[in-house]
Amino acid sequence: MRSLELIDNWPVPTAAAAVVTADGRRAARGPGGQPFALASVTKPLTAYAALIAVEEGATELTEPAGPPGSTVRHLLAHASGLAFDEHRVMAPPGTRRLYSNAGFEVLGDHIAKATGMPFAEYLRQAVLEPLGMTATQLPGSPAKDGVATLDDLARFAAELLNPRLLARETLDEATAVVFPGLNGVLPGYGHQKPNDWGLGFSLRDHKSPHWTGATSSPRTFGHFGQSGTFLWVDPDAAAACVALTDRAFGNWAVEAWPPFTDAVLAELRG
């Protein structure tokens, strides 16, 4: 895909990107086997493991977890009331969309207790190993410390297009609005009213500004990371895109990512 060549002009030391489609096509540019820090692109992987734990019966979305009144569902949807990076309650559960690394760390602990193994090991057994993501690791926080290659993350993107490890109905629920109407801050992009979110997945909806493209469908879901990484899935385009870099998110990404996504979508649509 010619659109992938746009990453050559990004002001980053190293960039790698891939596009995968629901019918199995794949195009990539940049080093496929180089490990990149994912930052918050770790969260969709963590969420996927949590949803598998739900399907396996190890836990339930309605199970209490986190602050009083919070559940697994609240933690996944950034609605538990926990602060961004502190285990401190900022609001009653279900009243605000407080994007929370702390919430995902509590979620990881909850899944570890429910499954009887360290969360990183459960992630490996439930998600990484079945998808052949042999180069992906979680050496620390389930909110932000994942490390993966482009090749591996493209495999996860393909799973999000055609789920094999989860029931389609479960993924559909995870990529629809959970606790609708909650306002909050989209990190790097300011206040969003509402700041709709799924179960571990950021939703495009009609947010503006946003890190995806102007032509991305409202059904687009995924995540971006402060390490200069993103993963989006656009069901209307039947395609997903992964981009990994080794430069921290900043104005360069705000300027570069949306036109890149629009170029990818334009090429897909022919």
Q: Where are the beta strands (DSSP E) in the chain?
A: 15-21, 26-29, 36-39, 146-148, 184-186, 190-192, 202-203, 221-225, 229-234, 239-245
For 219, the domain range is 2-269
Indicate if the alpha-carbon torsion angle 33, 251, 156, 235 is positive or negative: negative
Helix axes 42-56, 101-115, angle to 10 degrees: 30
The domain that contains 173 carries what CATH number? 3.40.710.10
- Report how far Cα 111 is from the mean position of its chain's Cα atoms: 18
Residue ranges with strand state E in 168-220: 184-186, 190-192, 202-203
- Please count the residues of the chain: 270
Specify the number of domains making up the chain: 1
Report pTM: 0.97
Query: What is the rounded distance in angstroms from the CA atom of residue 238 to the CA atom of residue 216?
Result: 12
Q: Where are the alpha helices (DSSP H) in 25-115?
A: 42-56, 72-76, 101-115
- pLDDT per residue, tens digit, the chain (270 aa), is 999 999 999 999 999 999 999 999 999 999 999 999 999 999 999 999 999 999 999 999 999 999 999 999 999 999 999 999 999 999 999 999 999 999 999 999 999 999 999 999 999 999 999 999 999 999 999 999 999 999 999 999 999 999 999 999 999 999 999 999 999 988 888 888 999 999 999 999 988 889 999 999 999 999 999 999 999 999 999 999 999 999 999 999 999 999 999 999 999 998
